[in-house]
Chain A
Amino acid sequence: MGHVGVLLSLRLKEYFGSLRVSRTSLMVMLGIVFSMFVIGGGLGYVVARGGFVYWGLSISREVLLSSLLSFITIFLSFYSVLNGVGGSLTDINYVASSPVSPRDYLVSDMLFQWAMLNVFIGPALASATIYTYLVGAGDPFLLLMEAYMFVAIGISQVFGVLKQVDRREVLAPLFLAFLAAYLTPALEIVGIELGYLRVLALPNVFAELMVGRVQPISIASLTLQLAVLTACYLRLSNLNIYYNLKPTLVGFAPISYMPQLERYRRLTRLLPLLRFVELDTERFGSFTLSLLKELLRNLRSGVLLASVPFMLYVVFLVPVRGRAFPVFISLSIAIASVELWRFAEKPALWSFLQSPDARSYFAGLIAGSALFIFALSLLIDLLMVGVEGLRLIPYIAASSIASSGGGIYYQLRFAKGRNQLADAFISMTLMGLSSLAAIIPLRLIEVYMPVLLFPVSPPYLLLVFLAFYSKCSRGVVRDIGL
Chain B
Amino acid sequence: MGSEGDYAIFVEGLVKRYGDVEALRGLDLRVRWGELHGLLGPNGAGKTTTLKILVGLLRRNGGRVLVAGSSIDECYDYKAFIGYLPENPSLPEYLMVKEFLGYVARLRGVPKEGVGDRIEWVSSLFGLEDVLNTFIYTLSRGYRQRVALASALIHRPRILILDEPLANIDPLAQYGIKKVFREFVSNGGAILMSTHMVDTAEKLCDTITLIYRGVGLASGTLDELRLKAGFKDAGLEEIFIALMRRAGDVSNAQKG
Contacts and interface: CB of A to CB of B under 8 A. Distances in A.
A98 B92 contact: no
B57 A13 contact: no
Interface stretch (B104-112, B173-181, B232-240): B104-112
Nearest to A102: B76
B20 interface: no
Size class of A's contact patch? 35 or more
Interface in B125-180: 135, 137, 148, 151
Interface string A90-120: 1011111111111000000000000000000
Contact of B55 (A97, A254, A418): A97
B72 to A, nearest CB: 10
Interface in A2-25: 3, 6-7, 9-10, 13-14, 17-18, 20-21
Contacts of A90: 90-92
B80 to A, nearest CB: 4
Contacts of A253: 92-94, 137
A240 B57 contact: no
A255 B99 CA distance: 19
Given A17-B93, A89-B90, A101-B76, A10 B56 contact: no
Contact of A255 (B74, B90, B103): B90
Contacts of B92: 10, 13-14, 17, 88, 90, 251, 253
Contacts of A101: 76
B76 A100 contact: yes
A244 B107 CA distance: 20
A337 to B, nearest CB: 26
Nearest to A17: B94
B93, B94, B107 — which one has the most chain A CB atoms within 10 A of its CB? B94
A99 B57 contact: no
B44 interface: no
A242 interface: yes
Contact of B103 (A10, A20, A88): A10
Size class of B's contact patch? 20 to 34
Contacts of A96: 55-57
A94 B94 contact: no
Interface string B70-106: 0000101111101010100111111100010001101
Contacts of B99: 13
Interface string A236-258: 00001011110000010111100
A251 B92 CA distance: 9
Contacts of B148: 93
B159 to A, nearest CB: 12
B242 interface: no
Contacts of A3: 106-107
A102 B104 CA distance: 16
A18 B148 CA distance: 21
Contacts of A94: 103-104, 107, 151
A7 B107 CA distance: 8
A99 B105 CA distance: 11
Contact of A240 (B74, B135, B137, B151): B74
B58 interface: yes
Nearest to B161: A97
B253 to A, nearest CB: 34
Contacts of B80: 98-99
Nearest to A253: B93
B160 to A, nearest CB: 12
Contacts of A92: 57, 86
Contacts of B103: 6, 9-10, 94
A385 to B, nearest CB: 44
B59 interface: yes
A98 B58 contact: no
A94 B79 CA distance: 11
Interface of B: 55-59, 74, 76-80, 82, 84, 86, 89-95, 99, 103-104, 106-109, 135, 137, 148, 151
Interface of A: 3, 6-7, 9-10, 13-14, 17-18, 20-21, 88-90, 92-102, 240, 242-245, 251, 253-256, 418
Given A17-B95, A92-B86, 6 more contacts: A14-B92, A17-B94, A94-B103, A98-B104, A240-B56, A243-B59
13 contacts: A6-B106, A10-B92, A13-B99, A17-B95, A18-B94, A93-B90, A94-B107, A94-B151, A97-B86, A245-B57, A253-B93, A253-B94, A255-B93
